[in-house]
Amino acid sequence: MKKRFTYLLTLLAIVSFISCDESVSDVKIPNQAPETSLFLYTDTGISQQPSKIEVNWWGDDPDGIVVGFYYKWNGNEWKFTTENKIAFALQIGASDTLYGFKVASADNDGNGKYDTEIVQNGISFGSEPFADGNNNGVFDEGEDFIDIGLVDPTPAEQDFPIKNSRPTIEWNQLTSLPLKSFPVMTFGWNADDLDGIESIQKINVALNDSANIISLDGATRNITIRIADLSSSSTDMDILVNGNVIDQKLSGLKLDADNRIYVQVEDISGAKSKFITLPDEDRNWFVIKPKGKLLVLDDNTKADNSAEFYATNLNLLDNGNLNGNYDVWDLNEEEIPYRSITFIETIKLFGGLLWYSDTQPDIELASSSLKKYTDDGGKVLFTSVLPHPVDLRQLQDFLPIDDVSSPIKVLGTNKVLSVSSDFSDYPELLTTGSSIKVKTFYPQSAAAKAVYTIPDDITDESDVISFKSNDGKVFFFGLPLHECDGNEGNVKVLLEKILIEDFGLGL
């Protein structure tokens, strides 16, 4: 009996102790703030960082859940994110820059309502983040928000010494310089910066004096320069970017003299690349001042007397005034850099073109440029046997024709080229050489008229060998004119009619 009583007392004591313990556990323990840590993925350590870095962090909360992080750089405002890493592109403000980074985790023990400002430990973190459903920039009742509890009072922090990398530049593969050109040229380059190409702020360009620069937008990767006004004493150059003239001029050009161009890149900190320059030190770039309104395009590939023939006859035009007052460009001499734009901007310096060839004219170049040229007011005399085969669509890009004939096997010497009644004041011509695979043409009836025809018995198809556009801008001759002067002197008469009287290219 006594044992049973003793056991009962002992059991009551245990129950009493447990009850006392439960009363103690009912006291609410205050929420504990989370702790934050950060680290940086790098092979070089903290001391030598480029301006693009990825910072990583995490948070531990002993009695809750981390719902996000507040971070900031230097004196900037705190920003909120639910991510635990972000790649930053830091703006370089000087040669080298020290960036201080802080990040603090926030837990989920909020007050259950939206707060317009979170202030803890003397720090204002701004309003609680929310989903702005109606995009009005303010929190509206019913919109989701993150209910911020405690924010780490001791944010993790790290200083990042950011080393600025000097930008680099090199000429691209399309850029070269001929030994001579007219005052038009196109240049392109590749630019880079380890700190990101967005840090490139300026492209500095100069002609002949690297101290006399103009600065272009940092995204510019190629330019065309052309003389702004040939009739002026100024040699300022227009600058074309993506085919459009910008509101800056490039000075320093020397006409009828050697020239050199300089280009460098500059980043946001003011750090500059070395200048790249063209031409190379062992070459020259001679810039020719156009002599007059006429440009002769020598597209001939035969070793013949064509250049001498045209020079002799052109020098007699306009009562001899044209003598030496025109320019010749040998299209087979050197490759044209960025030829699609350099060529068209060059021929625009002239009022008219005499483009001659034998049997292999550069149809692709003519197709890509002559329509733009004539639309801009230029006039063209084009004389050549067309290649076989030839793409009709390319021809129609610059010639007003519906079709071409099958090639004539041979058009021999002493063949009379008759003049149509619409051009009775033009001279009759006589062939002096044999041409194979000659084509005749079907001019568009509303856009052009036949000028010269070959004898009817040579072809069963069209006999039109030459035509002129109704707007007077294009004269096409389907044979080399230098092989059509059997009536000696008549080609000179024809050149006078077309170039001087019709095109107005005299002095």
pLDDT at residue 147 tops 90: yes
CB 469 within 8 A of CB 447: yes
CA distance between the termini of the chain: 145
Lowest mean pLDDT among 21-35, 239-253, 454-468, 482-496: 21-35
Instruction: Note the pTM of the prediction, 2 decimals.
Output: 0.75
Inter-axis angle of helices 363-375 and 339-347, nearest 10: 50
**184 close to 172: Cβ distance less than 8 angstroms:** no
- Residue 89, pLDDT score: 67
| Count of C-beta atoms within a 10 Å radius of residue 230 | 14
Residue 445 CB neighbours (<10 A): 10
Binning pLDDT at 50, 70 and 90, where does residue 236 land? Answer: very high
Q: Find the mean pLDDT for residues 214-225.
A: 97
The pLDDT score that the predictor gives to residue 3 is 40
Please state the φ and ψ torsions of residue 321, each to the nearest 5 degrees.
-70, -20
Is residue 214 a contact partner of residue 206, using CB atoms and an 8 Å limit? Answer: yes
Cβ(223)–Cβ(204) below 8 Å: no
Residue 90 has a pLDDT of 65
The alpha carbon of residue 170 and the mean position of all alpha carbons in its chain are separated, in whole angstroms, by 16
C-alpha span between 316 and 416 (Å, rounded): 24
Identify the pLDDT of residue 94.
47
Cα separation, 344 vs 356, in Å, equals 17
- The mean pLDDT of 45-63, rounded to a whole number, is 74
3-state secondary structure 398-437: CCCEEEECCCEEEECCCCEEEECHHHCCCCCEECCCCEEE
Is residue 24 pLDDT above 70, yes or no? no
- Which tens digit of pLDDT belongs to each residue from 88-100? 766 655 456 778 8
Residue 345 CA to residue 130 CA, distance in Å, equals: 56
* 178/302: higher pLDDT: 178
Is residue 316 predicted with pLDDT exceeding 50?
yes
Using CA atoms of 249, 252, 258, 262 in order, give the dihedral in degrees to the nearest 10. -70
What's the mean pLDDT in 349-373? 96
Higher pLDDT, 231 or 184: 184
Q: Which of 477, 476, 482, 434 is nearest to 312 (CA)?
A: 482
Identical fold at 35-163 and 294-502? no
Torsion of CA 111, 113, 116, 119, to 10 degrees: 0
For 448-491, what is each residue's pLDDT tens digit? 999 999 998 898 899 999 999 999 999 999 999 999 999 999 99
Q: Are 476 and 465 in contact (CB under 8 A)?
A: no
Rounded distance, CA 300 to CA 110, Å? 86
Q: What is the mean pLDDT of the chain?
A: 89
SS3 51: coil
pLDDT recorded at residue 451: 98
Q: Comparing 34-48, 190-204, 332-346, which segment has the lowest mean pLDDT?
A: 34-48
Q: Is 385 helix (H, G, I), strand (E, B) or coil?
A: coil
* Per-residue pLDDT, 163: 72
Q: Nearest Cα to 370, choosing from 340, 337, 326, 338?
A: 340
Q: How far apart are CA 177 and CA 187, in angstroms?
A: 9
Amino acid at 424: S
Query: Is the pLDDT assigned to residue 53 strictly greater than 80?
Result: no
Rg (C-alpha) for the chain, rounded Å, is 40
Domain boundaries, given as residue ranges, for the chain: 35-163, 168-287, 294-502
Assess whether pLDDT exceeds 50 at residue 43.
no
Q: Does domain 294-502 have CATH number 3.40.50.880?
A: yes
What is the model's pLDDT at position 79? 94
Report how far residue 403's alpha carbon sits from residue 415's, in angstroms, rounded to the nearest whole number. 23
| 38 Cβ neighbours under 8 A, 6+ residues apart | 55, 56, 57, 58, 101, 103, 156, 157, 158
Return contacts of 71-80, CB within 8 angstroms, 24+ apart. Answer: 71/101, 71/102, 71/103, 71/104, 72/101, 72/102, 73/99, 73/100, 73/101, 74/99, 74/100, 77/126, 78/123, 78/124, 78/125, 78/126, 80/106, 80/125, 80/126, 80/129, 80/146
Q: What percent of the chain has pLDDT over 70?
A: 91
Q: Contact at 8 Å (CB) between 124 and 94?
A: no
Mean pLDDT of 3-10: 38
Say which residues have a Cβ less than 8 Å from residue 197's Cβ, sequence separation at least 6: 191
Res 382 pLDDT > 50: yes
What's the CA gap between 399 and 370, in Å, rounded? 9
Question: What's the CATH superfamily of 168-287?
Answer: Immunoglobulins (2.60.40.10)
- Is the pLDDT assigned to residue 243 strictly greater than 80? yes
- Structure tokens that stand for 455 in this block: 């004898």
Instruction: Provide, rounded to the nearest whole percent, the portion of the chain with pLDDT above 90.
Output: 75
pLDDT given at position 41: 59
375: its two tokens: 């639309």
Place of tokens 């052109």: 314
- The encoded tokens of residue 203 equal 């492209």
For the chain, the residue count is 507
Q: CB–CB of 101/158 below 8 Å?
A: yes
Residue with tokens 């309003």: 127
Question: What topology does CATH give the domain 35-163?
Answer: Immunoglobulin-like (2.60.40)
